[in-house]
Structure formats: C-alpha cells, structure tokens
Amino acid sequence: MQSLEGSSSIKVHVSGTENPEEASFFESFEAAHSMHDLSSSIAKKLGVKAPPVRIDSQAKYGALSRGDGAIYLRFPHKGYREKIWDHAAGFIVVTEAGGVAMDAAGNPLDFSKGKFLDVDTGIIVTNQKLMPLVLKAVQDSLSEDAQSASSL
C-alpha cells in the first residue's frame, strides 16, 4: 500500500486475530445487498462484540486487507447472482494480503465461469484461522433460518 502523497510502499496484511470476540466485521451498507439480520445472528454466535461496519463497494476488501476489521460477510437476498467485477479486484488484494474467501458451503470462489460468480448462498472473507469458526457459525445460522421458515 502506498499513500496518494507518495510515501514509501508498505506490505499490508489481514488481521491475524484468532479470537472472534475481538473481530469486527464488514458488510454492505445497503440492506438490499446483504441480509443484515443474518449477519447479526452469525456475529452473535461468534461472540463478536463490535457493531457491524457497513461500507459500499469493494472498499470492504481493501479495509479487510489492511486489518481494519477481520471478517467480511456478504449474503445477498435469494435470486441475486454475484458479478465477477464486483469482487475480482478486491479478491486479489485480500488474497495477496493473506486472507481467504469462500462461499457459505466452504467452496473457493471460482472466477473462471464467465460474468457470474455462482456461489452457495453468500461470501465470507476472513483470515485462515477464523475461517472454520466463521463457516460453522454461518452454516448453523442458515440451517436455523431454514428450520424456522419450514415451521411457518
């Protein structure tokens, strides 16, 4: 990373925290772009204490890449298909910074299939240590949601 004033460049790295309680998370500013209720229940399961940091655009990937927060949760409403141009640049930056991005089923993101990123339910970005814990909380929250929907 290099400042616009031209300072010397420094290598950035994602947060190294292993403790979800001290990890803050990013999500879309717009509730129409990501289900805030779902991310709130995931954060609660993880014991995250800080409120969500809501930012528009791929700036979320940039902030995560320099360790401003530790988790990015993205769960669009049913039927929305992610476009590669909304993620590709941020994905490269965060991966270079040591982060890992997966869909809700734990699959890696596949940018080789044309304009759409066909992910299972949503996208999770975090560090290597937190990913298994976050994935478990995501899957538990999704199955609770599915159970309550089927009992209506």
Angle at 59 between CA 45 and CA 88, to 5 degrees: 95
CA dihedral of 91, 38, 21, 14, whole degrees rounded to 10: 10
Question: Is residue 80 near ligand PPS by the rule CB under 6 A?
Answer: yes
Contacts for 140 with CB less than 8 Å, ≥ 6 apart: 45
In whole angstroms, give the CA distance from residue 130 to residue 71.
Answer: 8
Interface region with ligand PPS, contact rule CB under 6 A, candidates 27-35, 110-118, 121-129, 132-140: 27-35
Q: How far is the CB of 45 from ligand PPS (least distance, A)?
A: 22
- Which residue's entry shows tokens 């979800």? 20
Residue 37 annotated in ligand binding: no
- Cβ distance to ligand PPS smaller for residue 10 or 32: 32
Per DSSP, 53 falls in state E
Interface region with ligand PPS, contact rule CB under 6 A, candidates 28-36, 44-52, 109-117, 124-132: 28-36
Interface region with ligand PPS, contact rule CB under 6 A, candidates 14-22, 26-34, 110-118, 124-132: 26-34
Spell out the alpha helix ranges (H) of 47-129: 59-65, 88-96
In whole angstroms, give the CA distance from residue 76 to residue 28.
Answer: 9
Q: How far is the CB of 6 from ligand PPS (least distance, A)?
A: 29
Question: Is residue 33 near ligand PPS by the rule CB under 6 A?
Answer: yes
Indicate the annotated binding residues for Mg(2+).
86
Indicate the annotated binding residues.
86
Interacting residues with ligand PPS (CB under 6 A): 28, 30, 32-33, 56-57, 76, 80, 86
